[in-house]
Amino acid sequence: MNSIKKHRDNPKRGQYRKINERCYPKINLYNLFWTLVFFSFVGYSIEMIFQFITSGELNSRQGLLYGPFSQIYGIGAVIAILSSRGIDKKNTVLLFSFYAILGGTYEYLSSRFQESVFGTVAWHYDENILNFQGRVSYRSALLWAVSGIVILYFLYPFMCKLLKKIPRRKALMITWIVFLVITADSFLTVTALTRYSERYSKIPSNSKFDVFLDKKYPDQYMRKVYPDLKFK
């Protein structure tokens, strides 16, 4: 009996399970916001590393005008965390299949949204077999599935553990600062991309803010930040 009790009370046993119990169920705006920021950075970093390994180049993979962020991955991570709450996390095959479908759908809708709002596309899979309208392919869906599993089982619990080490008052201050910076960055990104699309369509500036955007973020600058962006 004593050996069984010691076995159960071993702090190293079930450490990963405890991390999940402490972090994963407590989905709130604080955790979700940092999920967005953290995985936007992680996704950007992976793309840059993969690009350098495969082509030897380091072109911008940013999603926002400023900072090492690719928000499509951050938003995808938030969706993955929220959508997994009703799924049996012990069933890896089910989770993998679910994330493949969810990730493929998310990528397809993101491509459609970008084209309808800005008149641009940032990726295409026309040359890949088993692609759907060039917006998603079986390989990208599999990558989303693998990413979802890694996020759910490892990276999200790890991020939660790091967040818990930050004192509450300091964490709140940092969160508000980052939130304001990201909000301003997102606003400038959306307006600059909109104006970029308008210039492509030969629409002249009709406000002082448009003039500011034309001078601050001209076509040359936008092409440098978004080298893969193509107009439809």
Whole-number pLDDT of residue 7: 43
Top-confidence residue, 121 or 23:
121
Q: List, in order, residues 6 or more apart from 197 with CB less than 8 Å away.
A: 118, 119, 120, 231
Confidence of residue 85 (pLDDT cuts 50, 70, 90): confident
Task: Tell me if 137 is assigned to some domain.
Answer: yes
Whole-number pLDDT of residue 12: 45
Task: Tell me if 7 is assigned to some domain.
Answer: no
pLDDT at position 201 over 80: yes
Confidence of residue 27 (pLDDT cuts 50, 70, 90): confident
What average pLDDT does the segment 134-142 reach?
A: 95
For residue 121, the enclosing domain spans: 14-231
pTM of this prediction? 0.85
Task: Tell me if 1 is assigned to some domain.
Answer: no
Mean pLDDT of the chain: 89
Task: Tell me if 126 is assigned to some domain.
Answer: yes
Top-confidence residue, 25 or 60:
60
Neighbours of 131 (CB within 10 A): 17
CA distance 198 to 66: 21
pLDDT at position 186 over 90: yes
Task: Tell me if 108 is assigned to some domain.
Answer: yes
Task: Tell me if 6 is assigned to some domain.
Answer: no
Name the token pair of 52: 């350098």
CA distance 24 to 43: 20
Task: Tell me if 3 is assigned to some domain.
Answer: no
Whole-number pLDDT of residue 21: 43
pLDDT at position 202 over 90: yes
End-to-end CA distance of the chain: 71
How many domains is the chain partitioned into structurally?
A: 1
pLDDT at position 3 over 60: no
